[in-house]
């Protein structure tokens, strides 16, 4: 029985870290990578540990955690599996507050008994740890226990989305996608075999974490009855919870078992229960990132799903309508009176050529003022509850300030706005204008529709 009174602040925001298992001859050893990046790039005070002692990067290598004069908040353990039990005991004896066990070679390699021994020891002493067989924790500007060289990592900006993943590789992929889409994270944690700290404890912690507004999970499997407890806790969570589940097929379930020794369970039952309890399920990594971005901006928003589309291109509008209908969203047509009101608000140059029924095609001749007028007018239309803006930044009549101007319209009117802008460096100023005003910006039409769809599925807690 895993104890429930865990305080995980020392795992995510430690002030002192010991890295146990550094090599004096191999700078590429995982422990060395972790020690060096935290020594040089993070505000933590970090200490290297190896039974032989010595010097690493000009810093003393301690023979044991017990020899370190300071109280240690977090021990990162990267030694052979057979030595982990001994190291955990040393950490407990030295008063270390928590640990991340990077080491593999436990249940996933057929050594479930050894893994259980470590978990039982830690539980008896109320010593929380994450892992084994994991990357651990990345908290922007605080700590990074990933054994990936800094120059190869893609690190999202600091933000308010927390990601919990059984797979370290999937977590790194999600971080790459978050960085590309401009989604900031509060923390990212790889839990691996989750011998002690599991999704349930992390959900409880992140629900109370002031840095986090949205919580996303990549889940491979649960122990008996654990999935039910997770869903109940997620439903009561005060923040949006998003789930991406692996092992949806029998073949995928076998792959899950060989990866982290998890039981994938009956996916159809789990998916149905998620839906019944109003918990968002992403079908793939791209959807998960889109959901995270939308809910980071609109964590308490729920729409019925009546979408108003504004575009500078008829083709983009048509594709967006198809994507909305496939997603179960409505794109209601506008009455003649609404169309006349829209026409009156546009510039003379497009009044005779703009298409005024939803979607509204302002055409390539539209001016910046036309886009502003369209969003303002859409904000007053009761027949729609979310605006989907397909922004083509290469149109001659607009400037890079348009994102900020439209973001201000949203802040003034409050009707949810989702924008599509191609994500290339040339258009970054336009994208920044939206994001600074908490308007989500998608890099594809499909992603933009995903962002609107999750607002319909989101249920305020």
Domain extents in the chain: 1-132, 154-297, 301-457
pLDDT at 260 over 70: no
The model's confidence at residue 272, banded by pLDDT at 50, 70 and 90, is confident
Contact between 321 and 310 under an 8 Å Cβ cutoff? The reply is no
Pairwise CA distance, residues 3 & 332, whole Å: 52
pLDDT at position 265: 60
pLDDT at 460 over 60: no
DSSP codes of every residue in 279-294: -EEESSHHHHHHHHHH
pLDDT at 138 over 80: yes
Pairwise CA distance, residues 401 & 433, whole Å: 7
Spatial neighbors of 79 by CB under 8 A, at least 6 apart, are 20, 21, 31, 87, 103
pLDDT at position 252: 47
The model's confidence at residue 275, banded by pLDDT at 50, 70 and 90, is confident
pLDDT at position 254: 54
pLDDT at position 277: 86
Average pLDDT over residues 153-179: 96
pLDDT at 284 over 50: yes
Average pLDDT over residues 421-430: 94
The 10s digit of each residue's pLDDT in 347-359 is: 999 999 999 999 9
The 10s digit of each residue's pLDDT in 35-78 is: 999 999 999 999 999 999 999 999 999 999 999 999 999 999 99
Q: 329 in helix, strand or coil?
A: coil
Q: CA–CA distance from 371 to each of 314, 364, 366, 399 (Å)?
A: 15, 11, 7, 11
pLDDT at position 278: 83
Residue 244 β-bridge partners: 218, 282
Mean pLDDT of the chain: 93
Q: 263 in helix, strand or coil?
A: coil
Spatial neighbors of 326 by CB under 8 A, at least 6 apart, are none
The model's confidence at residue 153, banded by pLDDT at 50, 70 and 90, is very high
Average pLDDT over residues 105-126: 96
pLDDT at position 121: 98
pLDDT at position 7: 75
Q: Which CATH number fits domain 154-297: 3.40.50.1000, 3.40.50.261, 1.10.3860.10, 3.40.50.720?
A: 3.40.50.261
For residue 270 the two structure tokens come to 């789990």
Q: CA–CA distance from 178 to each of 147, 162, 186 (Å)?
A: 20, 11, 12
The model's confidence at residue 273, banded by pLDDT at 50, 70 and 90, is confident
CATH number of 1-132: 3.40.50.720
Radius of gyration of the chain (CA): 25
Q: Which helix (H) or strand (E) holds 418?
A: strand 417-420
Nearest Cα to 274, choosing from 243, 238, 239?
A: 243
The model's confidence at residue 377, banded by pLDDT at 50, 70 and 90, is very high
User: Which residue has tokens 């050594």?
Assistant: 111
pTM of the model as a whole: 0.92
The 10s digit of each residue's pLDDT in 310-342 is: 999 999 999 999 999 999 999 999 999 999 999
Pairwise CA distance, residues 222 & 218, whole Å: 12
pLDDT at position 173: 97
The 10s digit of each residue's pLDDT in 288-311 is: 999 999 999 999 999 999 999 999
pLDDT at position 262: 52
Nearest Cα to 79, choosing from 50, 111, 37?
A: 50
pLDDT at position 458: 58
Average pLDDT over residues 200-225: 95
Task: Provide the phi-psi class of 115: left if phi over 0, else alpha when psi is between -120 and 50, else beta.
Answer: alpha
Q: Which of 4-18, 197-211, 232-246, 442-456 has the lowest mean pLDDT?
A: 4-18
Q: 103 in helix, strand or coil?
A: coil
CA torsion through residues 260, 265, 271, 274, sign: negative
Pairwise CA distance, residues 138 & 145, whole Å: 6
Same fold yes or no, 1-132 and 301-457? yes
pLDDT at 18 over 60: yes
pLDDT at 5 over 60: no
Topology (CATH level 3) of domain 301-457: Rossmann fold (3.40.50)
pLDDT at 174 over 90: yes
Average pLDDT over residues 153-174: 96
């Amino acid at each position: 029985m895993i104890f429930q009174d865990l305080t995980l602040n020392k795992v995510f925001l430690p002030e002192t870290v010991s890295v146990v298992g550094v090599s004096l001859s191999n700078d590429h050893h995982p422990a060395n990578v972790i020690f060096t990046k935290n020594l040089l790039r993070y505000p933590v005070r970090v200490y290297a540990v190896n039974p032989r002692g010595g010097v690493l990067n000009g810093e003393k290598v301690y023979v044991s955690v017990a020899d370190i004069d300071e109280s240690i908040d977090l021990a990162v353990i990267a030694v052979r599996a057979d030595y982990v039990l001994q190291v955990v005991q040393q950490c407990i004896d030295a008063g270390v507050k928590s640990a991340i066990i990077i080491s593999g070679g436990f249940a996933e390699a057929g050594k479930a008994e050894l893994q259980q021994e470590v978990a039982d020891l830690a539980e008896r002493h109320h010593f929380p740890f994450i892992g084994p067989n994991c990357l651990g924790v990345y908290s922007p500007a605080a700590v990074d226990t990933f054994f990936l060289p800094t120059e190869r990592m893609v690190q999202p900006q600091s933000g308010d989305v927390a990601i919990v993943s059984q797979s370290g590789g999937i977590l790194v992929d999600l971080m790459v996608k978050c960085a590309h889409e401009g989604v900031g994270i509060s923390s990212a944690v790889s839990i691996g075999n989750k011998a002690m700290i599991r999704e349930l404890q992390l959900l409880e912690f992140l629900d109370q974490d002031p840095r986090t507004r949205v919580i996303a999970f990549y889940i491979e499997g649960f122990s008996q009855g654990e999935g039910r407890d997770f869903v109940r806790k997620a439903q009561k969570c005060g923040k949006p919870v998003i789930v991406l589940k692996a092992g949806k097929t029998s073949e995928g379930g076998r792959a899950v078992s060989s990866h982290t020794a998890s039981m994938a369970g009956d996916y159809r039952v789990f998916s149905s229960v998620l839906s019944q309890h109003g918990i968002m399920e992403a079908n793939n990594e791209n959807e998960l990132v889109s959901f995270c971005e939308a809910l980071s901006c609109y964590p308490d928003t729920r729409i019925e799903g009546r979408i108003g589309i504004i575009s500078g291109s008829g083709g983009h509008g048509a594709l967006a309508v198809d994507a909305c209908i496939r997603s179960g969203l409505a794109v209601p047509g506008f009455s003649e009176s609404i169309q006349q009101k829209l026409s009156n608000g546009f510039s003379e140059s497009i009044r005779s050529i703009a298409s005024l029924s939803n979607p509204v095609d302002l055409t390539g001749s539209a001016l910046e003022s036309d886009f502003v007028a369209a969003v303002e007018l859409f904000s007053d239309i009761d027949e729609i509850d979310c605006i989907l803006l397909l922004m083509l930044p290469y149109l001659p009549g607009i400037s890079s300030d348009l994102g900020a101007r439209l973001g201000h319209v949203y802040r003034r009117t409050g009707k949810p706005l989702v924008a599509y802008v191609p994500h290339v460096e040339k258009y970054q100023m336009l994208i920044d204008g939206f994001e600074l005003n908490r308007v989500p910006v998608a890099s594809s039409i499909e992603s933009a529709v995903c962002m609107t769809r999750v607002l319909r599925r989101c249920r305020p807690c």
